[in-house]
């Protein structure tokens, strides 16, 4: 039985609420179905349990992903029928093959860049279910697998289109396996931000994009052309991803002075994640080159630090990240990470190093 506290969904409640308030009947119905489902699986934001290493097939050798993609056939029962297993050829179903390829690209990023063997670093099999529900407007990680809806076709396209979304969901499992960050308040926003960081890095790695070439967008492939937006979140400029009559304006702050106090979305975990997202972008931008080589490595080292508590604040993560910049690299990297946090309102002395 999946522990509901482990469910992490990509589309935040405030977007679904906007659709329910301003969308057409079809759009409202799809958003209501999605929102009610997410709420039913989130009874409380308490400390997550570490995900059990349950797999449909045995874990493979280190460096080799073990993927299985299933078709939920528009039902809400998991995992659904197996359609494509590791090593099998393309199925011809776009969602199935996109999920398969993106799971592989996500695994390759964690293994080749960070030396991590899947979610638990022990070869956890990567399971994905596609065609979940009817018009389901979300993707989520439930502690055992990734699940992807097809969207309604009017606001959201199928969620398997976006590599960074799939890597984002997989990264929730990594965070739970390492730090178990409580999904509420600042620790919850850190949880979301880390998934955005590794999601965007997986995309940049797959595309061989430098810091300057990258778009720094999360979910750039999800919105249909009728929506006025370039993605769901912008890491370089939080608050600018979309501005649309239906969805409203991207509410993410980029500085602590604009930190949002709210009871919605477990204390604004999808909103305030814009602050650490921009800190990462600024650090990566200052360092240049490929963001995964230095900034990404520093953030990963920080996530894996046993001193990072389950209720960690932005400040606590920032201090550890500056320390790890010094441990792994040197003064230039320390200065870049320190400045990145300072520019979003997280001030600290360099004596923390």
Return the active site residues. 169, 270
- The DSSP letter of residue 212 is T
- What residues contact residue 204 under an 8 Å CB cut-off, 6+ apart? 210, 214, 290, 291, 292
Q: How far is CA 160 from the centre of its chain?
A: 13
What are the CA-CA distances from residue 158 to residues 58, 133, 222, 224, 278 (Å)? 29, 12, 7, 10, 27
Q: Pull the structure tokens for residue 318.
A: 């920032």
Cα distance between residue 300 and residue 110, in whole Å: 10
DSSP 250-268: ----SSGGGPPP-STHHHH
Residue 214 to residue 192: CA distance in whole angstroms: 20
**Tokens standing for residue 270:** 């999808």
Q: For residues 278 and 344, is the Cβ–Cβ distance under 8 A?
A: yes
* Upper half-sphere CA count for residue 182 (Cβ side, 13 Å): 16
Asked, as a colleague might, if the bond just before 79 is cis with ω within 30 of 0, I would say: yes
């Amino acid at each position: 039985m999946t522990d509901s506290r482990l469910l992490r969904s990509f589309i935040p409640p405030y977007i679904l609420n906007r659709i329910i308030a301003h969308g057409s009947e079809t759009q409202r119905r799809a958003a209501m179905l999605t929102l009610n489902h997410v709420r039913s699986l989130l009874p409380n934001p308490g400390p997550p349990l570490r995900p059990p290493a349950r797999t449909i097939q045995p874990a493979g050798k280190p460096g080799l992903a073990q993927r299985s993609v299933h078709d939920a056939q528009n039902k809400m029962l998991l995992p659904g029928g197996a359609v494509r297993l590791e090593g099998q050829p393309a199925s011809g179903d776009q969602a199935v093959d996109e999920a398969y390829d993106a799971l592989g690209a996500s695994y390759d990023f964690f293994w080749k860049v960070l030396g991590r063997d899947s979610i638990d670093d022990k070869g956890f099999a990567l399971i994905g279910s596609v065609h979940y529900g009817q018009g389901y407007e979300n993707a989520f990680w439930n502690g055992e697998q990734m699940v992807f809806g097809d969207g309604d076709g009017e606001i959201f396209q199928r969620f398997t289109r976006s590599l960074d979304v799939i890597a984002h969901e997989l990264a929730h499992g990594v965070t739970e396996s390492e730090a178990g960050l409580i999904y509420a308040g600042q620790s919850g926003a850190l949880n979301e931000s880390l998934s955005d960081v590794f999601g965007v890095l997986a995309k940049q790695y797959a595309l061989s994009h430098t810091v300057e070439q990258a778009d720094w967008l999360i979910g750039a492939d999800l919105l249909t052309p009728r929506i006025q937006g370039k993605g769901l979140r912008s890491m370089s400029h939080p608050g600018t991803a979309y501005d649309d009559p239906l969805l409203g304006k991207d509410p993410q702050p980029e500085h602590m002075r604009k930190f949002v106090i709210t009871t919605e979305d477990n204390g604004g975990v999808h909103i305030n994640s814009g602050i650490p997202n921009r800190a990462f972008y600024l650090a990566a931008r200052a360092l240049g080159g490929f963001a995964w080589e230095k900034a990404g490595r520093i953030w990963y080292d920080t996530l894996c630090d046993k001193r990072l508590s389950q209720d960690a604040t932005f400040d606590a993560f920032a201090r550890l990240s500056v320390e790890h910049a010094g441990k792994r690299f040197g003064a230039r990297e320390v200065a870049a990470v320190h400045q990145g946090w300072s520019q979003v309102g997280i001030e600290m002395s360099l004596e923390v190093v």
